[in-house]
Amino acid sequence: MDKHIYDIWLQRVLNVRSTHSKDIISVFGSSENVYRADESSLRMAGVLGTAELARAADKNLDEAQRICSLAYSNGIDMVAYTDEQYPVMLRQLSDPPFVLYIKGTLPPLTGLKIAIVGTRRPTASAQKIAFDYAYELTRHKALIVSGGAVGVDMLAHRGVLQAGGITLCVLGHGILFPYHNGAEALREEISRHGAVISEYPPDSPIYSFSFTNRNRIIAGLSDCTLVTEAGAGSGSLLTAAYAAAQNKPIFVVPGSPDNPNAIGTNNLLRIGATMTLQYTDLLDWYDSGRMTAQAIGQRMSESEIKKIRNLKEPMPLVYLNRLENRPIVAAMTDLLDDTVSAAAVSDEEETVPFVKSGEKTSWNVISALRDSLSTVPAAENTDISDKETIRAKKLSETLLLVANDLDELIEHKSSEDESSSEKNIKVSKKAVSAARKPRRKVSAETIVPADEKTVPVKNAADNQDVSEKKNTAPQKISDTLLTEGALSVYDTISESPTDAETIRQILGMKIDDVLSALTELELFELIRPVGLGRYVRV
């Protein structure tokens, strides 16, 4: 049997963006060995989570065989994490793609490799810059990596092809999935002069998290990232954030302050990215030999280093809608790693895994927080240490931040629905209603009376009014974290000593409150596809 069938099976077990691929292979040695391991062996290995163990129990290979056959029949090769030809640079990621689907020829990843990214609606000058940089850098033997999207990505690929070079196109969907009109022809040409790459099976559609995941691979395959033009909400800023997290330099073409397409790039410059005015700037950097994290660090001032460290600080996800007023990389880097950086904790502390799910949604972040209660060590009616108290406090603070952000997203969505009259958010009788009053900051000291009532809501399903309760204010998801019969964890720990089990129980109730509210509010499509592995450090 083709070994890649087992690789695909394990990829489906791990899901996209898993941080467990390295560990599971180090324990079992191969995908086939993982497949043949019994449940007891997998559980004793202590690598896979509950959901992964459940998927691993299904030994049916039909879907893996279908994917493998589909790939081969369309000229698509597969390279797994266990293969020798797997890119070394991707092995360095905390969440490397376990299987790469490749159409074309993956070139030797030697020499200068540059990611060129930017907006999908570039101005005329940015179009020329993207094409010209790619063209000239290719003539100087650089390998250009981009994402194959309309706009800057396509222009970069075309610049490479015009120069007679090779390029890597990393997709956020299956290679066979039709995305852009006319993009198929370009991808075919790239496959003859380089490679089209995806971590998704060939016929996979686009998911809400697909392009976010794709961007880490673009940054991972490159020595540096060039952002030619990017507005406040451009996905290319995520690529820059991944590059920053990987200690790789970011080059930015400055734009006019009056150009909304340059808000993101100009903010990158403001927080320490390197300005470039001509393609030779990147060649000079490469030729100077400053390609190590140590050398890059020596170029930074103390204030720049402080800004980079601040990238790991907590930041509510709702601010992503207002990036023109915030440091871009600071906001974007919040979405990256699943693990607390070892540099962020003392030598005595272990790094704490947070988000282990492949799908980086707020739902999974909150679910992961439930799993993270294990960071509060077990205790037999004994007081917890100061370190454990800090961890528990930060877990509760994270819940408050997430819930507060969900409130604002709900409020934003509610106002949009009211203005468009397209549809209303459905709220069941027991659900927390969407807040339409001005946002009020939620802190550990903010405790809403337990008898606060909900607003009247009309049940859209049966067109019947839910019973009204007068003289009431809408209750927020963040309020339920502080009520429902439980005091704030933060206050509980601050005011009196407690044991670890009490903390687990209180946090568990709060997490379940949020998950229940999300279910009843039917907000799965509303929650933005973000990963909050660095939402708060513990």
Instruction: Return the pLDDT at 219.
Output: 94
Say if residue 471's pLDDT is above 50. Answer: no
Residue 75 has pLDDT above 60, yes or no: yes
More confident residue, 400 or 218: 218
Tokens representing residue 259 in the block: 């150009």
pLDDT > 80? residue 314 = no
Identify the top-confidence range among 135-144, 428-437, 508-517: 135-144
pLDDT interval class at 496 (50, 70, 90): very low
Quick one: average pLDDT of 75-90?
94
Average pLDDT, integer, range 112-119: 95
The domains of the chain are located at 3-88, 105-331, 342-521
Highest mean predicted confidence (pLDDT) among 76-90, 300-314, 332-346: 76-90
* Residue 445 in tokens: 């000291």
Q: How many Cα atoms occupy the beta-carbon half-sphere of 207 within 13 Å?
A: 19
236 pLDDT tier (thresholds 50, 70, 90): confident
Helix runs in 372-484, H state only? 386-420, 477-480
Mean pLDDT on 296-313: 43
Asked if pLDDT for residue 279 goes beyond 90, the answer is yes
Token representation of residue 87: 């890119």
- Helix 362-371 and helix 500-521: axis angle, to 10°? 160
Cβ atoms of residues 34 and 24 within 8 Å: yes
- Report pLDDT for 201: 94
Task: Give the pLDDT score at 18.
Answer: 84
Top-ranked range on mean pLDDT: pick from 10-24, 169-183, 318-332, 410-424: 10-24
3-state secondary structure 441-473: CCCCCCCCCCCCCCCCCEECCCCEECCCCCCCC
- Is the pLDDT at 370 greater than 60? The verdict is no
CATH architecture of 105-331: 3-Layer(aba) Sandwich (3.40)
SS3 call for 309: helix
Confidence check: pLDDT of 310 > 60:
no
Tokens standing for 207? 């998911």
pLDDT band at 72 (very low <50, low <70, confident <90, very high): very high
- The count of other CB atoms within 10 Å of the CB of residue 495 is 10
Q: What percent of the chain has pLDDT over 90?
A: 35
Which is more confident, 486 or 280?
280
Mean pLDDT, all residues of the chain: 67
The pLDDT value recorded for residue 425 is: 32
Confidence of residue 482 (pLDDT cuts 50, 70, 90): very low
- What was the pLDDT predicted at 178? 82
Average pLDDT over residues 215-242: 90
Helix ranges restricted to H, 29-76: 31-36, 39-45, 50-56, 62-73
pLDDT digits (tens, 9 = 90+) for 266-276: 888 888 889 99
SS3 227: strand
Residues in the chain: 538
Q: What is the pLDDT of residues 96-111, one digit of tens each?
A: 999 999 999 999 898 9
| More confident: 51 or 75 | 75
**Region 83-91 average pLDDT:** 93
| pLDDT confidence band for 191 (50 / 70 / 90) | very high
Verdict on whether the full-model pTM lies above 0.75? no
Residue 188 confidence (pLDDT) above 60: yes
pLDDT band at 384; cut points 50, 70, 90: very low
Give the per-residue pLDDT at 318: 32
